[in-house]
């Protein structure tokens, strides 16, 4: 039995001890398989182990002159202990103290706090200890604390709930058949889906400790506002606050661009996990990108980085949903694909909101497999425009890898030859040679996976976001 400790307790020796863990920055923990089994994804996923990062706080807080600083250091050290256990497996309290440099009394207080939050558990005595009373081992308890992700796209929502060990405990894909995309019309749908997920999690004796929402547009993550989502018709919508007000309780809610979160999923759990410089290109209805630079998501000065779909490739081309003319999205978005490859079906497919983007692309794939000459010609044209945009990405970001996601893996057999030729013709030769093009295996709803990863990273950085169990 552990004694409940005052969460504000702090040893004066805690501050310097934090610095002792600086060598743990960037260590990795391999998680169990199964995290990527998502509803609504195309094809079958490889059952691979997922990588989750466990980052140490970079430096100590060494001042103890005000209560706020005491609380900051305590959060700092709670994160330190939690990440140590996640990275290195079961350890005794004495082992934690020895590794971190924290006092045993402080470690006992921190561990009691983490146990009370359902983040750490005791797993029995050490088996290899020599003389004396065997030490009780501690390990990450990932089973009871859940992070929840919701991806919103034009035409569907995808909800995914994972525990901190990376195991999926809930998943649901829902088409938005005939639904208006107006903010006030979609809000009840999003709230209903989140409430349904929270209820399912809680009915199984678990609790949701963090929610992240992926949106197809520019998101101001700090303010919780969707600045602009052209394909939804949203501008300056306070999505986070509306969700908090509707859901109630003490749930934390974050939001980000869906391509940013898809890039995070690829970086942590995809086939190119750990690649320090990558660009994730997502084509669903529109086209966007998530950019990883130096192992971190790059959002730019106002959160608008990665809007590659709205770079101009055809100045006298078609008008885009954003209002500009000749955006890359007008040549490689879903609408462009359908009108290029299946022009006789395109109008009907675009109007039919009962069909998912995946189902619409299936009509293109069926024609291509039948060697329909119009489809083949249209796909080659599509491939050339794809390559032009990829060349701009290579020239702008010099990534090690570009991951193609959304419907692009589905049409890859018929577009990549033209795309690679256009990429080589329009990019700096050295940069093109050093960049690999990979197809995502995470499916259409990788953004939902990225949501859960983002929420779990927040919890590891600040375990006090998880309420105490009463």
Contact at 8 Å (CB) between 147 and 164? yes
Which 3 state secondary structure label does DSSP give 299?
coil
CA 130 to chain centre: 45
Residue with tokens 């003490």: 250
Q: What average pLDDT score do residues 188-200 get?
A: 96
Which residues are within 8 A (CB) of 206 and not within 5 positions of it... i.e. 6 or more apart?
143, 144, 145, 146, 163, 169
What is the average pLDDT score of the chain? Answer: 84
Each residue of 79-92: pLDDT tens digit? 999 999 999 989 99
pLDDT band at 100 (very low <50, low <70, confident <90, very high): very high
pLDDT band at 168 (very low <50, low <70, confident <90, very high): very high
Phi first, then psi, for residue 26 (nearest 5°) are 85, 10
Each residue of 244-284: pLDDT tens digit? 999 986 788 999 999 999 999 999 999 999 999 999 999 99
Q: Please give the pLDDT value at position 128.
A: 59
What is the secondary structure of 143-160 as a DSSP string?
Answer: SSEEEEEEEEETTEEEEE
The better pLDDT of the pair 289, 41 is held by 289
Q: Please give the pLDDT value at position 99.
A: 94
Each residue of 313-323: pLDDT tens digit? 999 999 998 89
Q: Please give the pLDDT value at position 304.
A: 87
d(CA 219, CA 229): 8
Each residue of 384-434: pLDDT tens digit? 999 999 999 999 999 999 999 999 999 999 999 999 999 999 999 888 889
Ordered structural domains, the chain, with CATH? 14-54+63-142 (1.10.10.10), 145-261+448-458 (3.30.420.40), 274-440 (3.30.420.40)
Q: CA angle, 291 as apex, 286 and 292 as ends, to 5°?
A: 150
Q: Please give the pLDDT value at position 60.
A: 35
pLDDT at 24 > cutoff 70: no
Tokens of 73: 């250091």
pLDDT at 18 > cutoff 90: no
């Amino acid at each position: 039995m552990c004694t409940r400790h005052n969460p504000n307790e702090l040893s004066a020796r805690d501050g310097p001890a934090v610095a002792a863990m600086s060598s743990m920055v960037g260590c990795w923990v391999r998680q169990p398989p199964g995290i990527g089994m998502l509803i609504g994804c195309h094809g079958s996923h490889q059952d691979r182990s997922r990588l989750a990062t466990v980052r140490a706080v970079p430096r100590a807080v060494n001042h103890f002159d005000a209560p706020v600083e005491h609380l900051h250091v305590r959060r700092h050290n709670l994160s330190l202990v939690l990440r140590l256990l996640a990275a290195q497996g079961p350890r005794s309290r004495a082992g934690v103290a020895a590794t971190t440099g924290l006092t045993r009394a402080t470690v006992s207080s921190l561990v009691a706090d983490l146990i009370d939050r359902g983040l750490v558990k005791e797993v029995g005595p050490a088996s290899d200890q020599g003389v004396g009373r065997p030490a009780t081992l501690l390990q990450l308890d990932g089973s009871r604390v859940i992070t929840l992700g919701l991806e919103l796209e034009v035409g569907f929502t995808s909800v995914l709930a994972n525990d901190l060990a990376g195991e999926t405990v809930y998943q649901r894909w829902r088409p938005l058949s005939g639904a208006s995309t107006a903010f006030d019309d979609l809000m009840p749908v999003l709230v209903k889906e989140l409430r349904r997920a929270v209820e399912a999690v809680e009915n199984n004796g678990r609790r949701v400790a963090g929610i992240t929402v992926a949106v197809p547009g520019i998101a101001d993550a700090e303010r919780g506002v969707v600045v602009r989502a052209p394909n939804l018709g949203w501008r300056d919508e306070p999505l986070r606050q509306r969700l908090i007000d509707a859901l109630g309780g003490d749930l934390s809610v974050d939001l980000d661009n869906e391509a940013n979160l898809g890039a995070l999923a690829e970086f942590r759990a995809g086939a190119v996990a750990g690649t320090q410089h990558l660009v994730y290109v997502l084509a669903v209805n529109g086209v966007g990108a998530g950019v990883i630079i130096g192992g971190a998501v790059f959002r730019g000065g106002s959160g608008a980085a990665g809007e590659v779909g709205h770079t101009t490739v055809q100045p006298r081309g078609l008008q885009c949903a954003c209002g500009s003319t000749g955006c890359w999205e007008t040549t490689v978005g879903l609408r462009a694909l359908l009108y290029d490859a299946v022009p006789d079906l395109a109008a009907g497919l675009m109007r039919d909101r009962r069909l998912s983007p995946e189902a619409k692309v299936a009509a293109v794939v069926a024609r291509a497999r039948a060697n329909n000459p119009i489809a083949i010609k249209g796909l080659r044209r599509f491939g050339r425009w794809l390559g032009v945009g990829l060349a701009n990405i290579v020239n702008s970001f010099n990534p090690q890898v570009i991951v193609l996601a959304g419907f692009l893996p589905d049409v890859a057999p018929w577009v990549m030859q033209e795309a690679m030729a256009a990429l080589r013709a329009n990019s700096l030769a050295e940069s093109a040679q050093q960049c690999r093009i990979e197809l995502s295996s995470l499916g259409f709803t990788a953004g939902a996976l990225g949501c859960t990863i983002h929420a779990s990273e927040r919890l590891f950085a600040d375990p006090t976001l998880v309420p105490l169990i009463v």
